[in-house]
């Protein structure tokens, strides 16, 4: 009865505004893992360990061996718009990191309990070994802090996700579903960063270990347990100036009933850009059984000022200056591989 009765304008309290903003970035448990993995990659980690308990609602923990956070900055990383990655709007057009908004940790800390333990890598010549420090924040407020020994790197533990956002909690599915999203996400990053060792533990069981050698074909074999070297075609195409596309295209033997094996990275970022996805599909249309998708891992590298990564809260969409040209190239790359590869009598299913 009151729904078209306008109420006076108010400015939302900071607490409400922050929880709403957090909801844009953190949709479900896997969103937290994505942000933490990207931070670890930005920190130059060689090894990233991910732990999930209770579908991520009970606990999520990401440990890296990256550069760490200096003790005097540890509390400030929880503040909104606090980042070590950009200084000005211009920096967005020469971005070499996955993060840039300085919002993820602030968002996560308003809707969960977050403990950040970090030890910064020693800067040469200083010679003072600082112990690792930790700070626990709940609902955006510091509740505890301390010191602990550990090698350089960072461990972030997130507990009780969405404890103060019951509406969002209703959208979180069974643990199995949420864990499944995390497995897919980690596979994607393992493929995107073959030089990094990834390790995933779910409810105390190691479910995934891959990468570290730098060889993408090895990572693919580790992830999918198939003699992929024979089934994958390596590609590298460049227009000599504005873009390079490289990676692997599986021949039709690898056709699969879902799109999760079609992965496209733009400047190291796994993206879901409709037009580019369509261009890839256009490449294998007519060559695969309808509704089937090949294994495709392609890396598109463009100059940082020819891509806008700031168009989506979770940064999974990007805009490209030379979109049409690149789309045509992607279609052509896939098509030429599939036309060359021998027709196969049957399709192999992935685990
Ligand atoms: P952004 O990644 O956009 O800068 P975040 O909120 O994700 O924003 O992180 C804020 C800052 O905290 C980062 O800019 C970085 O300085 C620091 N930080 C976060 N995670 C890590 C990590 N795993 N290793 C080192 N520094 C980190
Ligand atoms: Mg970040």
Which atom of ligand 1 sits closest to the CA of residue 67?
25
The answer, yes or no, to whether residue 13 has pLDDT greater than 60, is: yes
Q: Which of 210, 238, 259 is a domain's end point?
A: 210
164: CATH: 3.30.565.10
| Whether residue 132 is found in the same domain as residue 95 | yes
Does 351 reside within a domain? no
Does 101 reside within a domain? yes
| Whether residue 162 is found in the same domain as residue 272 | no
- For ligand 1, the distance from its centroid to the CA atom of residue 334, given in whole angstroms, is 36
CA dihedral for 197, 209, 70, 20, sign (positive or negative) = positive
pLDDT digits (tens, 9 = 90+) for 19-72: 888 888 899 999 999 999 999 999 999 999 999 999 999 999 999 999 999 999
Other CB atoms within 10 Å distance of the CB of residue 305: 12
Give the single-character DSSP code of 54. G
Does 331 reside within a domain? yes
Number of structural domains (the chain) is 2
Q: Which of 178, 210, 242 is a domain's end point?
A: 210
The answer, yes or no, to whether residue 124 has pLDDT greater than 70, is: no
The answer, yes or no, to whether residue 345 has pLDDT greater than 50, is: no
Gap between the Cα atoms of 129 and 262, Å rounded = 45
For residue 77, which phi and psi values (nearest 5 degrees)? -65, -20
The two beta strands, 262-266 and 269-271, are antiparallel
Q: Which of 18, 25, 32, 42 to mutate to test the pocket of ligand 1 (most atoms within 8 A of CB)?
A: 42
Does 221 reside within a domain? no
Does 174 reside within a domain? yes
Classified as helix, coil or strand, 109 is helix
Q: Which of 26, 39, 64, 137 to mutate to test the pocket of ligand 1 (most atoms within 8 A of CB)?
A: 39
Ligand nearest to the CA of 117: 1
> Does residue 251 contact residue 230 with C-beta atoms inside 8 Å?
no
Give me the pLDDT at residue 85, please. Answer: 94
| Whether residue 261 is found in the same domain as residue 200 | no
The mean per-residue pLDDT over the stretch 62-85 comes to: 94
Give me the pLDDT at residue 107, please. Answer: 93
Helices (H), the chain: 14-25, 29-42, 104-110, 166-169, 175-192, 216-224, 228-231, 274-284, 323-340
pLDDT higher at 39 or 4: 39
Proportion of the chain above pLDDT 70, given as a percent: 93
Cβ burial of 169 (10 Å; 0-12, 13-18, 19+) is: middle
| Whether residue 55 is found in the same domain as residue 180 | yes
CA 260, chain centre distance (Å): 14
- For ligand 1, the distance from its centroid to the CA atom of residue 17, given in whole angstroms, is 22
Give me the pLDDT at residue 173, please. Answer: 85
Does 150 reside within a domain? yes
Give me the pLDDT at residue 106, please. Answer: 94
The H or E element spanning position 319 is: strand 319-320
Ligand nearest to the CA of 87: 1
288: CATH: 3.30.230.10
Does 93 reside within a domain? yes
| Whether residue 243 is found in the same domain as residue 185 | no
Q: Which of 181, 210, 239 is a domain's end point?
A: 210
The mean per-residue pLDDT over the stretch 220-234 comes to: 80
> Which residues lie with the beta carbon below 6 Å from any ligand 1 atom?
35, 39-40, 43, 64, 66-69, 77, 82-85, 99-106, 154
| Whether residue 301 is found in the same domain as residue 159 | no
| Whether residue 43 is found in the same domain as residue 185 | yes
Give the single-character DSSP code of 56. G
| Whether residue 59 is found in the same domain as residue 205 | yes
Does 347 reside within a domain? no
HSE toward the beta carbon, residue 256, CA cutoff 13 A: 16
- In the structure encoding, which two tokens stand for residue 55, read together? 């579908």
Gap between the Cα atoms of 31 and 18, Å rounded = 17
| Whether residue 203 is found in the same domain as residue 268 | no
| Whether residue 46 is found in the same domain as residue 155 | yes
pLDDT digits (tens, 9 = 90+) for 231-261: 788 999 999 889 999 999 988 777 766 777 7
The H or E element spanning position 237 is: strand 232-238
CA 158, chain centre distance (Å): 17
Cβ burial of 35 (10 Å; 0-12, 13-18, 19+) is: buried
Ranking 17-26, 92-101, 124-133, 287-296 by mean pLDDT, the lowest is 124-133
pLDDT higher at 24 or 150: 150
| Whether residue 22 is found in the same domain as residue 93 | yes
Smallest CA separation from ligand 1 atom 14, residue: 83
Expressed as residue numbers, the domain containing 127 is 14-210
Which atom of ligand 1 sits closest to the CA of residue 83?
14
| Whether residue 21 is found in the same domain as residue 103 | yes
pLDDT higher at 93 or 351: 93
The mean per-residue pLDDT over the stretch 93-114 comes to: 92
CA 124, chain centre distance (Å): 31
* ipTM reported for the complex, 2 dp: 0.99
């Amino acid at each position: 009865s009151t729904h078209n009765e306008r109420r006076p304008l108010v400015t939302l309290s900071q607490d409400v505004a922050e929880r709403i903003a957090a909801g844009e970035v953190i949709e479900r448990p896997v969103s937290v893992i994505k942000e933490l993995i990207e931070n670890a990659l930005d920190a130059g980690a060689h090894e990233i360990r991910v732990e999930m308990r209770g579908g991520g609602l009970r606990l999520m923990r990401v440990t890296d061996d990256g550069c760490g956070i200096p003790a005097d900055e540890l509390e400030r990383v929880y503040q909104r718009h606090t980042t070590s990655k950009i200084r000005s709007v211009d920096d967005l057009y020469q971005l070499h990191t996955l993060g840039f908004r300085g919002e993820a940790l602030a968002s996560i800390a308003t809707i969960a309990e977050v403990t950040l333990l970090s030890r910064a890598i020693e800067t040469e010549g200083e010679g003072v070994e600082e112990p690792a420090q930790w700070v626990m924040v709940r609902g955006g407020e510091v509740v505890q802090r301390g010191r602990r020994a550990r090698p350089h790197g960072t461990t972030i533990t997130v507990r009780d996700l969405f404890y103060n956002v019951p509406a969002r909690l209703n959208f979180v599915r069974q643990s199995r579903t949420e864990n499944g999203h995390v497995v897919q996400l980690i596979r994607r990053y393992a493929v995107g960063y073959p030089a990094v060792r990834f390790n995933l533990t779910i409810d105390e069981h190691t479910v995934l270990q891959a990468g570290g050698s730098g060889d993408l074909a090895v990572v693919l074999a580790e992830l999918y347990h198939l003699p992929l070297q024979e089934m994958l075609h390596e590609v590298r195409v460049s227009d000599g100036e504005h873009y390079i596309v490289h990676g692997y295209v599986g021949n039709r033997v690898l056709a699969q009933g879902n799109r999760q094996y079609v992965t496209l990275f733009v400047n190291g970022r796994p993206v879901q850009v409709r037009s580019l996805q369509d261009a890839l599909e256009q490449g294998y249309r007519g060559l695969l059984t309808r509704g089937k998708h090949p294994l495709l891992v392609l890396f598109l590298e463009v100059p940082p000022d020819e891509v806008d990564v700031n168009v989506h809260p979770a940064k999974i969409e990007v805009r490209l200056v030379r979109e049409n040209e690149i789309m045509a190239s992607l279609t052509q790359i896939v098509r030429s591989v599939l036309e060359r590869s021998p027709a196969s009598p049957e399709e192999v299913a992935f685990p």
